[in-house]
Structure 1
Amino acid sequence: MTLYLQSDIEAGAPGMKAWQIEAGRALLDRLRPPSGFPCVFSQAACRRGRILFAFARGTDPVSLDMAADDLLAYLARARDWDGDVATAEPLVMLFDPATVIGEHVEDYHAHGWRALQYWHDVDPGHWPDSVSRDPESPFWTMCFGGTQIFVNMSNPAHVVRRSRNLGPAFTMVINPRERFDRVAGDTVPGRLMRARIRSRVEAYDDLPHSPLLGSYEAGEIEWWQYGLKETNDLPAGGCPLHMRVDEAAE
């Protein structure tokens, strides 16, 4: 179980594998000027050296068990957050590009949902009573260790939607969901911030921002936003995540 600081990636800390350093540095390069990366929060976290890193060898049970431990460690650390956006630490989980591979965006999304399914199945925490147990409900969100989280799946197969390509490795960017309520929630300042980011997305990507991106507080479907396609079409079919029997919708 290992969480790495951004400074570890930049320095190439002892014991790190070459692919970890390469993938981590490639991601940081995507966030730094003059890249124009649209998410101002990611840029700010990078500028302040606040990004945390975890690495997974693959999506096999052994690798995902270790990644689950890293995720729990991150969420325990995040519970001490003081509420100041300047101190927020996103978790970037990078998967070995030699093992977790795909030809299309959807191939990488399948890896991501496999990981989320596994973590849900082994989750030691209680599903929060305040969160719907139906992924198709407006007020469902992924939870782990009793904490609501938001997951961004980024991968190297994204050519058009460049804002979801963070380098050579399949990447899951994970934050406690409550942070988005604080800084970009369904309030006047929050809506203005989301509009600003979407404007930047349209300038960075080669297509308009996805209509699937919304606000949890406004009742937007959450799982749609985790993995976006190269088009702005609606997802085909239901949520890939199957809730445990003890967590299924009543």
Structure 2
Amino acid sequence: MLSIIKGDVYRVLPPSTILTKTIIEEDNQSIPEWFKKEYAHWKEVVSDREFPCPFGTVAEINGHLRYFYVENDNFHSLPHVLREFLDLSRRTRTRHAFVIFIKPEIPEKPFAYYESYFWDIINYLHVNDEMEWCEDISIHPDDANWEFCFDGEPIFVSANMPGYKHRITRNIGNSLILIFQPRRIFNDISYKTNRGKNAINLIRSRVESIEKLPFHPDLGEYGNEGYREWKQYIITDGIEPRSGQCPFRSNEIRNEKK
């Protein structure tokens, strides 16, 4: 079976289901070596008790994360597996997150390349979303209420990539890595709760200690009029705030599909 993605024909389709920690570590045939290598590095970094995000560490150690990988720019299965993940997430009280690894580029690409690739995936998912945009979430990225939505769910998406040379806590290996977290899993760990404030302050202090940089100016509380959520998905690699328009194309690409 062939799949035509981004104008080229590729011979192999990606996996068609989400992966668990156990599957990755026990599989010896169907999972490519590059992915097992990148996952092993991810596990080593994220499982470290000094990793900035304690929630991520607990999730990795306890096997609560779910994974997927992309090769040859082939996004064909992404909409299906993201729906599969969201269905799993809705059926449990566990704070699952979905982590997608993109096959490393050799040689390594510049920051702007990974940033563009990230938004290509987000726009591809949007145009292939079978559900209408969430009624209570703005579809315009320049609105403080905007969040990426898919399958009727607001989802916070963040990126790790080798293009980060200064914001090194966002560089976890050779892959561009996308992390999808349903907005609802943050309900009791936001700025509005003591637990959330304490956790966020801990994360910030750890990041500043590791990076030797002030906390990034684009990072803030969701819905705060002074911030834009899309800028937090991929922060700049320094102390300067993001400028320009959001690459998310909203309804125009869905209209093109029709």
> What's the counterpart of residue 145 of structure 2?
139
Q: Is the 2:65–2:97 contact (alpha carbons within 8 Å) kept by the matching residues of 1? A: yes
Gaps of 5+ in 2: 1-15
* Aligned equivalent of 1:65, options 72, 76, 86: 76
Q: Which residue of 1 aligns with 2:115?
A: 109
**CA displacement at 1:98 relative to structure 2:** 4.0
Number of residues of Structure 1 aligned to a counterpart in Structure 2: 239
Which of 17, 30, 43 matches 2:45? 30
What SS does the aligned partner of 1:184 have? coil
How far apart in 2 are the matches of 1:164 and 1:147?
A: 25
One-letter code of the match for 2:68? A
- Residue 48 of structure 1: CA displacement? 0.9
Once the two structures are superposed, residues 138-179 of structure 1 have per-residue CA deviations (whole angstroms, 9 ceiling, x without a partner) of 000000111110111110121211111121111001110121
Q: Secondary structure at the match of 1:183?
A: coil
RMSD: 2.0
2:61: which partner in 1? 47
Distance 1:184 1:58 in 2: 37
Partner of 2:224: 218
Larger Cα-atom Rg: 2
CA contact (8 A) 2:162 2:173 kept: yes
The one-character-per-residue Cα deviations of 1:54-94 (angstroms, maximum 9, x if unpaired) are 111143xxx21212211111111111132xxxx31211100
Cα distance in 2 for residues equivalent to 1:76 and 1:205? 36
| Cα distance in structure 2, aligned partners of 1:180 and 1:58 | 33
% identical equivalent positions = 25
Match of 1:93 in 2: 100
- Which structure 1 segments of 5+ residues have no match? none
**Per-residue deviation, 1:43:** 0.6
Q: TM-score, normalised by structure 2?
A: 0.86
**What TM-score, normalized to structure 1?**
0.88
Residues 69 and 102, structure 2, Cα contact 8 Å, conserved in 1:
yes
